[in-house]
């Protein structure tokens, strides 16, 4: 699915945004989580991808933690 000019989003990211009631709910938009899309594709389709530098990796980990926190807010306490 295309969003904006050239932002292609993975279905999993779109699912997350839909359950988080984007844009009202948890403060994460498709634009926020779009950088994680690279990792969903590269993990699914191994190949000759560009290397990831430390700064990009740290930003991805920080965003993944934000996504995790947002998802945890949606889950009942007894499943955590």
Residue 7 pairs with which residues in a beta bridge?
A: 3
Q: Are 16 and 33 in contact (CB under 8 A)?
A: yes
Per-10-residue mean pLDDT, the chain, length 80 = 45 63 62 81 83 91 87 82
Predicted pLDDT at 4: 42
Predicted pLDDT at 76: 83
pTM of full prediction above 0.85: no
User: Which is nearest to 71 in space by CA: 35, 27, 20?
Assistant: 20
Predicted pLDDT at 46: 81
Q: Where are the domains of the chain?
A: 2-79
């Amino acid at each position: 699915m295309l969003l904006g000019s050239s932002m292609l989003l993975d279905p999993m990211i779109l699912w997350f945004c839909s359950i988080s009631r984007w844009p009202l709910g948890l403060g994460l938009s498709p634009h926020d989580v779009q950088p994680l899309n690279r990792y969903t594709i590269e993990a699914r389709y191994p190949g000759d991808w560009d290397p990831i530098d430390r700064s990009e990796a740290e930003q991805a980990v920080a965003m993944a933690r934000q996504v995790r926190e947002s998802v945890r807010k949606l889950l009942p306490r007894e499943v955590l």
